Amino acid sequence: MLPTRDDIPSLSHRELTEHLRLARANPGPYAELREALECEQAARSPGTNYCCPKCGHDSFERSEIRTARSPLSSLFNVQSARYTAVVCSCCAFTEFYQGQVSAGAQALDLILGS
């Protein structure tokens, strides 16, 4: 079911990600909404209006961390969880944001064995 523009701010992160994925796969029905969805995602991005909760510094570095959800899944290198780490460039306080790895990225992991 398509959200309306008014619904977008109250979508959960998971729902917003899923609607964006659908918007890319089905440009037709989402034509009106895609821009609003992308704006919402940008506004929620970890680096938007960054302010370190420890020292108040406003610049940061970002890195990505992947981890398997269980020892068994690491054998097959599937179902990996991805986190974005946002590191304060003044005091190195680090925040983690969970992100989902797409099916395509998982398939690539299998091929590359990373």
Residues that bind Zn ion (CB under 5 A): 52, 54-55, 57, 88, 90-91, 93
Q: Which is nearer to Zn ion, 11 or 87 (CB)?
A: 87
Q: Which is nearer to Zn ion, 20 or 90 (CB)?
A: 90
Block residue for tokens 């590191």: 87
Collect all residues with Cβ–Cβ distance below 8 Å to 114 and sequence separation of at least 6. Answer: 77
Output the smallest distance, CB 13 to Zn ion, in A: 24
Output the smallest distance, CB 58 to Zn ion, in A: 9
Nearest to 62 by CA among 22, 94, 91, 100: 94
**DSSP assigned state of 8:** G
- 94-99 sheet: strands from edge to edge: 60-68, 80-88, 94-99
Q: Which is nearer to Zn ion, 44 or 54 (CB)?
A: 54
Output the smallest distance, CB 90 to Zn ion, in A: 4
